[in-house]
A and B are shown apart, each in its own frame.
Chain A
Amino acid sequence: MSDGHQLRSAIIAVVSGVLGLPAEAVARGVSPEAVERWDSEKHVELVVALEDRFGCMFDAEEVPELTSLERMQEIIARHGA
């Protein structure tokens, strides 16, 4: 499995845990528009969980961008995870 696949799987596990959705559903794609419970508080929880899991701290401008698996993967990879 490539590093990209491993990173995506790890992100899916975090998102699945925070949003309380099956990993398969997350893997098909998620967004705040599509997941009703993804409000501001849930977003904070998600950002903190991603930072804890990948040992990074997102810049202020990146925080609102973490709304799809693709963007999460891109931003986390930028932080060297």
Chain B
Amino acid sequence: MITALGQPIPDDVVAFLDHVVSPRGRRHWQWKYGSGGEAPPAFYWRDAGGRVLGFIGLMHTALQTAGGVHAAAWFVDWYVAPGQPGIGMALLRKAEAAAGILLTLQGSADTRQILPRLGWKESATAITWVRPLTPRSVAGWLARWMPAPLARVATPFAALALRPRRVPQPTGAELAAVERLPAAYDAVGNARAAEITAMRRDSGYLNWLCADYPDGGYRLWLLRAAGADAGHLVTRCDVDRRRLRRGRIVDAAWPWTADGLGDWLIAQAVAALRRDGADYVECLASTAPLRTALAGNGFRRRGAVPLWSHRLPAGLAAPDDWHLTLLDCDRAYR
């Protein structure tokens, strides 16, 4: 039967997640699904014999629009033990009923097969953008596209594009590193989100997802313009599967129409990640202001990350127009 996840997370649910999702351990799952609140953070299936056979996690959020705020959730970690037809769909139905707007980003191959059959729609405007920072990363990319001897010859020429770009600092713009975002920032963060139709960007969500992440690695900044809080920046540096140091611009927000501010903020993020030793920087972007700032800083498009949605309320802007970054869903640390 379907069971709402209680606290603390039962040992056998942690064991199921470690076994079928990723061996991250109780500390991780307790962070992800133990943050409290009234809405269940997940559902799982326990059979008559007491075995855990399926799981679906919910990261509750809210879609900020010019017309109002809509409860929403990202579904993540949707897994079912083999040979259990129907349990996955049952868990998804339960999540739909609990979420308001239910969404996911990317999804496994199985997920991408099943969702269209259930009427889910795919939007592919969120694109990963990449900028190499070191000859090592350039060599890796070239080796994918040409024979190794040719790649060795081409690398020094391609590396000419690695030089830092100089972007003028707009008058009155300042960026301050912070341990956590203050509650006073909530009105600004959510206003920035509503201007562009994005998920909540308040201190509670940002601090939980980034500052409280058990394995660390995130850096938060507060952007000030003309003496007032105006936006934020989140970066992260870790190691990818090819053992390259991966820098990520997890999220960035600024007054979207301000001349030069976005270019400068992204340049600051790249410089910070360069100092952190990143071989390359990547960022997920779906809307024009961030895309323009990335292009202006030498980023190139790599691939789309599909957004999946279902049964959206009437009158909402189309998902193709929503602002998405790595802060959304659980993409930032994966």
Contact = CB atoms under 8 A, between A and B. Distances in A.
Contact of A44 (B83, B97, B114): B114
B114 A64 contact: no
15 contacts: A40-B80, A40-B88, A41-B113, A42-B85, A43-B85, A44-B114, A47-B86, A48-B117, A59-B93, A60-B2, A60-B93, A60-B94, A63-B90, A64-B84, A65-B86
A66 B80 CA distance: 17
Interface in A53-81: 58-67
State the 3 A-B residue pairs at the shortest beta-carbon distance, nearest first.
Answer: A64-B86, A43-B85, A60-B93
Given A40-B80, A40-B110, A63 B117 contact: no
B90 A64 contact: yes
Contacts of B110: 40-41
Interface string A13-39: 000000000000000000010000011
A67 to B, nearest CB: 7
Given A32-B85, A43-B85, A61 B117 contact: no
Main secondary structure of the interface of B (DSSP, over half): helix
B97 A60 contact: yes
A57 to B, nearest CB: 9
A62 B83 CA distance: 17
A44 B105 CA distance: 21
Contacts of B85: 32, 38-40, 42-43, 64, 67
Interface of B: 1-2, 45, 80, 83-91, 93-94, 97, 110, 113-114, 117-118
A49 B84 CA distance: 19
A63 B93 contact: yes
B240 to A, nearest CB: 31
B93 to A, nearest CB: 4
Interface residues of A, number: 21
Nearest to B83: A32
A27 B89 CA distance: 25
Contacts of B88: 40
A43 B1 contact: no
Given A60-B97, A61-B1, A64-B84, A44 B89 contact: yes
B91 to A, nearest CB: 7
Contacts of B86: 40, 43, 47, 63-67
A66 B85 CA distance: 10
Contact of A45 (B87, B91, B117): B117
A28 B84 CA distance: 22
Nearest to B113: A41
Contacts of B91: 60
Nearest to A63: B90
A40 B113 CA distance: 11
B1 A40 contact: no
Nearest to B96: A60
A48 to B, nearest CB: 6
B93 A44 contact: no
Given A64-B89, A65-B86, A66-B86, 14 more contacts: A32-B83, A40-B86, A41-B113, A41-B114, A41-B117, A43-B89, A44-B117, A47-B86, A59-B93, A60-B91, A60-B94, A61-B1, A61-B2, A64-B90
A67 B114 CA distance: 18
Contacts of B84: 40, 64
A62 B1 CA distance: 10
Contacts of B90: 60-64
Nearest to A59: B93
Contacts of B89: 40, 43-44, 47, 63-64
A32 to B, nearest CB: 5
B114 A40 contact: yes
